[in-house]
Amino acid sequence: MTLKNAVASCLLQYTSLQGRASRSEFWYFTLFIVLVSTAVYLVSLLFPERYGPIMQSLVLMGLAIPLFSVFVRRMHDIGASAWRALFFCIPVVHLICLYWALKPGEDGDNKYGPYPE
């Protein structure tokens, strides 16, 4: 999966908690969020007092739902319940989430859907 395909997939499926997401889809979308966040931060430096924090907050809130959704689908790819994604919301527990996100998906179809391409 390419960066463009991953971003399109995650943004189009931002409300979908069904199915599976490959490691490449998850990590390319994470890279996209880092790049967008960096760009918004650099632009916000031009308007530090008035619009900077508002721009950053709006962009991050807009990308939080698709990121959570793709993380749920990533958990499905490793054969785990979506309930694990709640750990994603706890700041201290991000290392466990990092391990889960790096873990290879189950081969073939599983109870959450077909193997992601």
Residue 11 lies in a domain: yes
Residue 73 lies in a domain: yes
What pLDDT does 82 receive?
85
Q: How many domains does the chain have?
A: 1
Enter the pTM of the model.
0.78
Task: For residue range 55-92, list pLDDT tens digits in order.
Answer: 888 888 999 999 999 999 998 998 888 888 887 777 77
Give the residue numbers spanning the domain of 41: 3-102
Separation between Cα atoms, residue 63 and residue 34, nearest integer Å: 11
Helix, strand, or coil (residue 90): coil
Q: Which two tokens stand for residue 52?
A: 């900077």
Residue 72 lies in a domain: yes
Give the count of beta carbons closer than 10 Å to the beta carbon of residue 1.
Answer: 19
